[in-house]
Structure 1
């Protein structure tokens, strides 16, 4: 397979991953960590720390698109959203610093624990 076809195939795969993550982001208000990070790591062979950073970059566009729809339909609680965004600025910066210092295998374990905890909460608590 020549390089041009390989690149086009990879670009299509990346666009499909982005589309699926965007749908999930719009439906559930999530997608970056849950969809993009594993897809980048296991489907595109992107190193874990780069996958996490890249997913955040991708999420910006998805969040803007879905937020516009939610805004037009008056679904946004502005007080909670803005206060959380302010906290998120600081938390995101701290998380990026921690990401640089923590080994990938520890991040993987923490991510699995996070996913399992929320899966449990969704199944049995909510």
Structure 2
């Protein structure tokens, strides 16, 4: 039962972060799944992607309701994103978990530094 409560709380944090600042899956949910639920890197990545679908639909719908979405560009991003998700998911089983963790850490750190200097 404790695992289910942790999963709901991780989802809540991921959804809250996604709704507020447009992030949540990889940056919030994956590390929490690794450290608090004992997921493997591969399982955390895959589970995060599955959980993000309904989270994204709800968040995007509300943003769209308030007129805060570039629908045409969102569609174009989706086309590229679908291709990228297919390629990345096909490559993931061939990449060691430690490499995946380092890749995520580098992306998070680089994005944080870039955004921090863009204030």
TM range (shorter): over 0.9
Paired position in structure 1 for 2:58: 65
- Tell me, which stretches of 5 or more residues in structure 2 are unaligned? none
Aligned length: 119
Kindly state the Cα deviation for residue 103 of structure 1 after the two structures are TM-superposed. Answer: 0.6
Q: 1:41-68 deviations in whole A, cap 9, x for unaligned?
A: 0000011100000000110111011111
5 Å matches for 1:29-68?
A: 29-68=22-61
Residue 28 in structure 1 maps to residue 3 in structure 2: no
Paired position in structure 1 for 2:68: 75
Counterparts of 1:21 and 1:109 in 2: how far apart (Å)? Answer: 20
Q: Secondary structure at the match of 2:69?
A: coil
Counterparts of 1:68 and 1:30 in 2: how far apart (Å)? Answer: 16
Counterparts of 2:8 and 2:101 in 1: how far apart (Å)? Answer: 25
Paired position in structure 2 for 1:124: 117
Q: Secondary structure at the match of 1:49?
A: helix
- Tell me, which stretches of 5 or more residues in structure 1 are unaligned? 1-7
Q: CA RMSD in A?
A: 0.9
